[in-house]
Every structure is written in structure tokens, then in C-alpha cells.
Structure 1
Amino acid sequence: MVKKIKKYSTTNTLVLLGIVLGVLFGVFAPQLALGQQIIGEIFISFLKMLVVPLVFSSIYVSIVGLGDLKSLRDIGARVIALYILTTALAVFAAVMAMNLVPLGEVVAVEGLEYAKASELASFSFKSMILSFIPTNIFHSLSEGSMMPIIVFASLFGVASLHVAKQKELEMVNFFTGVMDAMLIIAQWVIKLTPIGVFSLISYVVANQGVDVIIGLWKYLLMVLAVLFFHAVVTLPALLFFFSRINPFKYLSAIREAPIMAFSTASSMATLPVSMRVVEEVGGVDKKNASFVLPLGATISMDGTAAYLTIATLYISHLSGVDLTLFEQLLLGVSVVALSVGVAALPSASLVMLIVILKQFGLPLEYIALIIAVDRILDMARTALNVTSDLVVAKIVDECLKRKNI
């Protein structure tokens, strides 16, 4: 264990160095930074390559490992409840922050239009529910549609509990081998992390520029402050309350995964790294991590929920619309509900923001004012999403070990 911790500590140091050098490279050599984007894209592609077989096999193995439907129902309900709790607390922190330090003076916006908004189909709960169910599992696997894959893998795992024991054992051995092989490949990819991070960060800095960041520094700082508060206060408090362990020691041990999430801005691309790190240095049982983390990468969106709450209130201030306390409460409920449900849809964050703005009668045109720094904030909120997943995984693991779940 000490050797593994030392290995990840070395990787973390190299990754942080990659971030620093990437920022400097993006600032002082922007043309070169833009030209080397392919290196970062190759790195992300390697990670995404692992996601579908890893999610399918890990969900299947973990469900069959539970042994019966009662255990699946009990643990599944508690995991989802924990994810909803962390998301709700993130939204609450965002609402409180925006009321204590309101941002945004009234700005007139004419002629601005966010093109992607008009391309998206209208949201409905019917389409959301239907998007969970795969009409063709092979299509879902090829497209990497996570919610349909998770639903099918869960049903497949439950069905396997009802076949002959010998056949069940053969399938479990096969998918366990698949999962282990994917995690070994993930270990190889982890060695490329410093190079991949350097490429991704330098491209973002060169592409976004610093002028845009300076112009929206108050808004940017507010979002980052709320995300930071949730990461270092709320989540550690929950981890200590439920598991009675030192939360900061655990978060320090698994920091490789949030750093990776910040660099890639993708919870799914980070999933192979999250699963390996949380097992090797976080002390979480593989069976528990295999169930909790793939589900969390799909439905847990603490950072996204906090960001959307701040963005909505910021746009309301810019457009001169003051939301009442009741409307802010309704906003919080809407964000929590949508963060769980809309994750299966493409452009999830954009869909959620458009739905919320329409719900409160706020102009979509104001999205154009904040979209410039969205990539940077996307990296930060994804890091928080992954941190929340890792905290919930540890809570569930500790509670199971103590037989409290």
C-alpha cells in the first residue's frame, strides 16, 4: 500500500507540473498550444476507449455479487439518496452565496443569440424517461450512451441471478476478467497523464485567452468559491459524519482522480482512473466501487448543479429580474431533479440551463455573456462531480463494512 501511495504521489506531482507548464505554454506560445491539441485528444480517446466495457462489466459484476434483489434495492436506494443529498447541499451553498454577495448589474443585450440553444429539442420528462431505456443495446454500446448501458447491465445482472449457478459463475468470471483487464489498461494510461494534462490545459488557455476571464472575474470567482467550499467543507463533513474517518487524509490520497477530471472535463473519461485510485489508495472495496462510481459518473452532478444555480441567478440579475425566496427554492428543487434526470441526454448542462431559464421566464440570450468562460468552469465543476463520487463511494464502503447499510 505504501508503494502504491508513493507511486500516485509522484504522478500527482508530475500532473501539477503539467498544469503549471501548460498554463505558461498557452499564455506565451498560443499558436503552438493550439496546434498540439491532438495530443490531448489522443489521451482522452484512450480513456474513453475503456469506459463502455468497464462500466458494463463493473455494474454487472457488482450486482451479481450482491446476491439478491433485496441487497440491490437497499444499497441502490441509499447510494442514490446520498447523491441527491450532496447535490442538494451544493445547490443550497450556491443560493446562499448569491444572496449574500449578489452579482450582476442590469445589462441590455441586443442581437445576441446562442446558436446551440435553437438546435436543441424541447425538453420533456417523457423523452428523459425513454432515453433511459435502450431500444438497441448494441447501438447504445457503440454510441457510449451511459444510462441505457447501466439500465441494461443492471437488468442483465439481475437476470443472471436466476440462471443455473454454473452458468452464472461462468459469466461472472468472464466479466470480472474484462473489468480487471480494463483497469490494467487504465494503469498504463495513467502514466501518460502529465503529458495529456499539459496538452489539454495549454490548449484551453490559448483558446480562451485571458481577456475574457478578466472581464467576468467576479462571476468566475463566485462559481469557483462555491465549488471550493463544497469540496473542502460540505463533502468532508458528510464523509466524517457517516464514516468517522479523517476526510482530508482520504481526499489527499485520491486527489489524482479530481486532477484528471479537471484536465479532461469529463467524468466518464475519468472513470477508469477513479476506479483504480479509489481501490488502490482509497481503500474502497472493488465490488462497492464498481457499483457506486459508474452510477455516480452518470447521475452525480454536484458541481454542475451549483454552477447552474449561480448562472441562473446571475442571469436574473443581469436581466433585472429578482427571484423571490420561494422562486429560489423552486429553482433549487428544479436543479436537483434535472441534475439526476438529464444526465442521459446530450449537452446535458446546456439542456438544463435552457430549461431553467425558460421556466423562470429569463432570456436565453444572456447565455452568450457567460459561455465564454464555460470551458474553464466545466473543468472545475467536473472535478467536483468526481470528488463527490469518490466521497459517496467511501461512505458506502465504510457503512457496508460496519454493516450499517
Structure 2
Amino acid sequence: MKLHWQILIALVLAILAGLNTAPGSSLYAGYDFVGELFLNALKMVIVPLIMSSIIASMAGLVGGDSLGRLGLKTLAYYTATSLCAILLGLTLVNICQPGIINGEAAGASLNLSIDKEQLASTLQQVTGRDSGDIIAIFIRMVPTNIVAAAAEGQMLGLIFFSLLFGFFMGRIDAQGKQTLIRFWQGAADTMVLITLFIMRFAPMGVFALVAKTISSTGFAAFQPMLIFLVTVILALLLHAFIVLPLLLKLLAGLSGRKQLQAMAPALLMAFSTASSSATLPLTMECVQHRAGVSRKTASFILPLGATVNMDGTALYECVAAMFIAQAYGLELGFVTQFTIVVLALLTSIGVAGIPAASLVAIAVILSAVGLPLEAIGLLLVTDRLLDMLRTSVNIFSDACGAVIIAKSEGEKGILEDPN
């Protein structure tokens, strides 16, 4: 049975079980135990997964002529569109405020353990400051001890070190480079398998976390989750149907409607599979034969995009982190929100192709700004539908990038109707 069906069944059973379980009972304690075990397993993979994925991806990017003119255009496009997506998500989540219900933080409805004194202490270093303290963020990006940074969950420093290591690993002599690439690629592949293994227990984790919540709060948890779901969907649709077509028109003078028509088969595939990698062959087929991009351009931009360009994922990570912060009743200042934007951008690049990438990336963001991770399990309730949508947005952004860059390279016949 597909994992999303398992999670859906677990969700239904969790509602039934939660309604028939008294808080404080032995069953309730069992739900708490299983839910915490699942969250601990997710936390366990964060550091090795982030490091191995970023280092392996960066080393592959440095090799060959990837950093030439085409590579720089591609990276500039991917960075710009991901940043647009994150800022769009940040704007909507601040407007809709899904974590606030009737003027109150939704944490109680979501059964989150809110210890305001502890949270205030944890967030003291990153909240309530002005834009001048952005300097402190960049100081934290260069840790004095990378091992200590990993142990303390200082993910900005860890990501920065991994980017540097991967970049310069790709520039050493061929023998040493190949040895290190094989090691880190092997480590990344191993972490993928471990993450897949943990996600096999996701239905049990969802069951335990949701049953515990329903047992304590009844159906009050579903109102904030519904508003969160609508906020993310609205942001994804605006990015796909407004921002990307606008970029097509402004940068390449091309029609967004024609691009949607050309990419329709790949978008449907992405929606049904929720996998950028599984959709990649069809994406390349549509971009080359339906949009008219050359094989040379498509074969460079699209595989790279499937690894590092995740507009929908970055948007979702940002909205989810802000939603959880709102649910705890925390007013995040400009500096903290800027930190979330930077981390959403970097983690969407670093773990884009990893199963359950968003959950791992959200854990990274929450750890970096000092928020508890217990709310992550609740995100699994809506994750399947949102995963399908954000994967479609990821694929469409990759395809738009291929078309825009091909046009800038002087290619002819892009998005022209066949004679």
C-alpha cells in the first residue's frame, strides 16, 4: 500500500482512537511515547543528511563546465525564483496567520506543550531585534567549531561549512576528488535509505501524534490546520500562475499559458507521484519536444533543477515554520524572519531530492530559531496533498527556467506552435 494511503488510514484511526482515549490514561502515555520516538528519529538524521547531501551536490556542481555562463544563469534563476516563493509564502502567512485563532495562539488547540518562559529564554537571542542585528546571523554562519555547531544544532554554520567543503572538494586533484565524492555520495545515499526506513513508520507516528492531540483537544486542532492548508495552497497557486508566468513574459517575452500547455503531462505526473526525480524523464521530454528547448540546455538545467531548485518546497518550509511559531504565540521580529528566509533557501537546495525533505528541512529551521519540534508531526496530516502541489510547482519552475535560459542563449522556436 502506498505510504500516503497508510497515513490517511492512520489519520482516520487516530481520530477514532483519540475520541475514545482519556488524557492521562496508559493509552495516552503510549501515544506520547510512540510520537516522541518518531520525532527523535527525524531529528537523528538531520545533521548527516544535510551535510552529505549538500557536499555531494556542491562537488558535482563544481565539476566540468557547470560554473560557466549557462551555470551562472541557471543558479541565478533558481536563487531568484526560490527567494520569490519564500517571500510570497512569508507575506501570506503573516496576513492569514493560520497559527492564530480568534486572537489567541492555536498551540492549545494543537496540544503543543507551551512553556512560555522556556520559549522566551530560548528565543531571546533571535527575537525582538532590529535589522542591524542581521550581522549576528552572518557571524553564526562561520562557526569556530564545526563539531560543536553540529552538536548544538547550529544549522546555519553547518550548511555554510558544507557548501565550502563541497565547493573546494571539487577543485582538488582528480584522485582525491573522486575518493571524497564517492565517500560523500555514498553517505548521502545511505542517509536516503535511513530516511526512507524512518518514513516507513510515519503512519505509526501520525497515528500517535494525532490520537494524542484529539484525545486532549477534540476537533479544535483542525481549524488551524485547515487555515494552514489554505494558506500554503494559495501561496503555491499564486507563485505558479502569477509569479512564474510574469517572469516568462518579462525575461523572455513568452506566454505563460503556452508554457502550461506544453508542460501539462509533466505537471500531471508530478502531481500524481509527488516526486521530482520520477518526473524528470517526462519533464525533459516536454521541455525539448513540446516547448522547443535544445537537448543541450535541457539536459543541463533540468537534472540540476531536480536537485537544487525547489520553489514549492522552500515556500512550504517557510510557511510551516511561521505557522508553528504563531501557534506558540511568538511574535517573530524581522531578524528571525530573515533567518527563516535564509534557512528555507539553503535547505531547499541542500535536501531537495531527499524523501521527506520538507520535514527534515523544517526541523533544521525550527532548531535554528529555537522552536520545539513537536508540531512537525501534525504537518504530516496535510503533507500528502501539499507535497503533490509543491512538487508540481517545483517542476514548473524548472521548466520555466529552461525556457527562459534557452531564449537568453538565442535559441529559436521556443514555445512556437508547430506548423
Instruction: Report the TM-score when normalising by structure 2.
Output: 0.59
Provide the aligned C-alpha RMSD in A: 5.0
2:74–2:401 contact (8 Å) kept in structure 1: no
Aligned counterpart for 2:136 among listed residues 107, 127, 131: 127
2:199 — aligned with what?
193
1:55–1:150 contact (8 Å) kept in structure 2: yes
Deviation (angstroms), 1:168: 3.8
1:143-200 deviation digits (Å, cap 9, x = unpaired): 665433432343344445654xxx2475156425642563366357536634x11221
Is residue 16 from structure 1 mapped to residue 25 from structure 2 by the alignment?
Answer: no
Question: Distance in 2 between the 1:82 and 1:136 partners?
Answer: 33
Is residue 154 from structure 1 mapped to residue 153 from structure 2 by the alignment?
Answer: no
Give the number of the structure whose residues are more often helix, by fraction.
1
- 1:174 and 1:103, CA in 2 relative to 1: closer, same or farther beyond 3 A? closer
Amino acid at match of 2:120: A
1:307 — aligned with what?
323
Aligned counterpart for 1:171 among listed residues 177, 197, 212: 177
1:32 — aligned with what?
30
1:53–1:178 contact (8 Å) kept in structure 2: yes
The number of equivalent residue pairs is 333
Q: Which SS does the other structure have where 2:63 is aligned? A: helix
1:8-65 deviation digits (Å, cap 9, x = unpaired): x834433433443444445544343234346525753675454432232123223335
1:394 — aligned with what?
395
Amino acid at match of 1:203: A
1:73-126 deviation digits (Å, cap 9, x = unpaired): 433332222122112222443455469xx963599xxxx944221233423322
- 1:299 and 1:171, CA in 2 relative to 1: closer, same or farther beyond 3 A? farther
Matches within 5 A, 1:202-217: 202-212=207-217, 214-215=219-220
1:26–1:201 contact (8 Å) kept in structure 2: no
1:198-235 deviation digits (Å, cap 9, x = unpaired): 2211221243345536456654543332123334x335
1:342–1:348 contact (8 Å) kept in structure 2: yes
Deviation (angstroms), 1:128: 0.9
- 1:17 and 1:172, CA in 2 relative to 1: closer, same or farther beyond 3 A? farther
Matches within 5 A, 1:184-333: 186-187=192-193, 189-190=195-196, 193-194=199-200, 196-212=201-217, 214-215=219-220, 218-231=223-236, 233-237=237-241, 241=245, 244=260, 245-246=263-264, 249-255=268-274, 277-283=275-281, 285-292=302-309, 301-304=317-320, 307=323
Is residue 118 from structure 1 mapped to residue 137 from structure 2 by the alignment?
Answer: no
Question: Distance in 2 between the 1:290 and 1:203 partners?
Answer: 33
Amino acid at match of 2:213: Q
2:52–2:188 contact (8 Å) kept in structure 1: yes
Consecutive unaligned residues of structure 2, counting only runs of 5 or more, are 21-26, 106-114, 127-132, 249-258, 284-301, 347-361, 409-419
2:89 — aligned with what?
90
1:265-320 deviation digits (Å, cap 9, x = unpaired): xxxxxxxxxxxx42134547554333346x997897332366379769x989xxxx
1:26–1:202 contact (8 Å) kept in structure 2: no
- 1:149 and 1:42, CA in 2 relative to 1: closer, same or farther beyond 3 A? closer
Percent of paired sites with the same residue: 13
2:55 — aligned with what?
56
Question: Distance in 2 between the 1:146 and 1:106 partners?
Answer: 31
- 1:77 and 1:333, CA in 2 relative to 1: closer, same or farther beyond 3 A? farther
Amino acid at match of 1:288: G
Q: Which SS does the other structure have where 2:143 is aligned? A: coil
2:150–2:158 contact (8 Å) kept in structure 1: yes
Consecutive unaligned residues of structure 1, counting only runs of 5 or more, are 1-8, 256-276, 317-330, 355-370
Question: Distance in 2 between the 1:214 and 1:240 partners?
Answer: 37
